[in-house]
Chains A and B, each alone.
Chain A
Amino acid sequence: MSKGSSVLRNRHLLILCLLLVAAGGSLFLYKWLDLGVPIKADNAIGAWTVEARIRFTAQSGKPVKVRFAVPLRPPGFALLDETFVSSGYGLSTAVQDGDREALWAIRRARGEQELYYQAVVYPARDTAQSSGSRPPPVEPPQFSDAQAAVVTSLVEQIRAHSADIATFAVETLQRLGARDNSDINLLLAGDNSPERRAEVAAGILATANIAARPVYGFQLQKEGRRLPLLTRLEVHNGERWLSFDPLSGAQGQPDDFLVWSRGKPPLRDSDGVRHLRLEFSAAENTYEALAVARQRAAERGSLALQFSLLSLPVQMQMVYRVVLTMPLGALIIVLLRNVVGIKAFGTFAPILIALAFRETRLLNGILLFTGIVALGLGARFYLERLKLLLVPRLASVLTVVVLMMATLSVLTYQLGIGAGLSVALFPMVILTMTIERMSIGWEEAGPREALQQAGGSLLAASLAYLVMTERQVQHLVFMFPELLLIVLAITLALGRYTGYRLTELRRFKALAG
Chain B
Amino acid sequence: MITFPWQRARALRAHGVLGMNQRNGDFIARVNPRRLYPLVDDKVRTKTLAQAAGIQVPQLYGLIAIQHQVLQLPKLLEGREDFVVKPVNGSGGNGVLVIVGRRKGRYRKASGAQLTEDELEHHVSNTLSGLYSLGGQPDAAMIEYRVKVDPVFEPISHQGVPDLRTVVYKGYPVLAMVRLPTALSDGKANLHQGAIGAGIDIASGLTGRGVWRNEVIDEHIDTGNPITGVQVPQWETLLELAARCYDISGLGYLGVDFVLDRDFGPMMLEMNARPGLNIQIANQTGLLPRLATVDAHGREGASVAERVAFARQRFGRP
Contacts and interface: CB of A to CB of B under 8 A. Distances in A.
Q: Which 7 residue pairs are nearest across A and B when measured between Cβ atoms?
A: A390-B129, A1-B295, A498-B22, A387-B122, A512-B11, A500-B19, A505-B8
Interface in B244-301: 277, 280-281, 284-286, 292, 295-296
B21 interface: yes
Contacts of A513: 11
Contact of A389 (B25, B125, B284): B125
B34 interface: no
B5 interface: yes
Interface in A445-468: 445, 449
Contacts of B119: 387
B162 to A, nearest CB: 20
Given A390-B131, A498-B19, A502-B5, A510 B211 contact: yes
B281 A449 contact: no
Given A387-B119, A440-B131, A497-B25, 7 more contacts: A387-B122, A440-B94, A500-B9, A501-B20, A502-B5, A511-B281, A512-B11
B59 interface: no
A512 B12 CA distance: 5
A496 interface: yes
A445 B91 CA distance: 13
Interface of A: 1-3, 6, 338, 341, 387, 389-391, 440, 444-445, 449, 495-502, 504-505, 507-513
Nearest to B116: A387
B45 interface: no
A444 B295 contact: no
A172 B296 CA distance: 97
Contact of B5 (A1, A505, A510): A505
Given A387-B118, A511-B281, A6 B9 contact: no
A510 B277 CA distance: 13
B73 interface: no
B214 A510 contact: yes
A381 to B, nearest CB: 14
B180 interface: no
Given A390-B126, A499-B22, A508 B281 contact: yes
B21 A501 contact: yes
A404 to B, nearest CB: 23
Contacts of B195: none
Contacts of A495: 25
A76 to B, nearest CB: 53
Contacts of B317: none
A2 B286 contact: no
Contact of A499 (B19, B30, B121): B19
A3 B30 CA distance: 11
A445 B125 contact: no
Given A2-B30, A496-B25, A512 B8 contact: yes
Contacts of A341: 20
B272 to A, nearest CB: 17
B193 interface: yes
Contacts of B94: 440, 444
A219 to B, nearest CB: 62
Contacts of B17: 500, 504, 508, 511-512
B92 to A, nearest CB: 8
A389 B193 contact: no
B135 to A, nearest CB: 11
Given A510-B216, A510-B284, A511-B17, A505 B12 contact: yes
Nearest to B193: A445
Contacts of B122: 387
B83 to A, nearest CB: 20
A496 B29 CA distance: 11
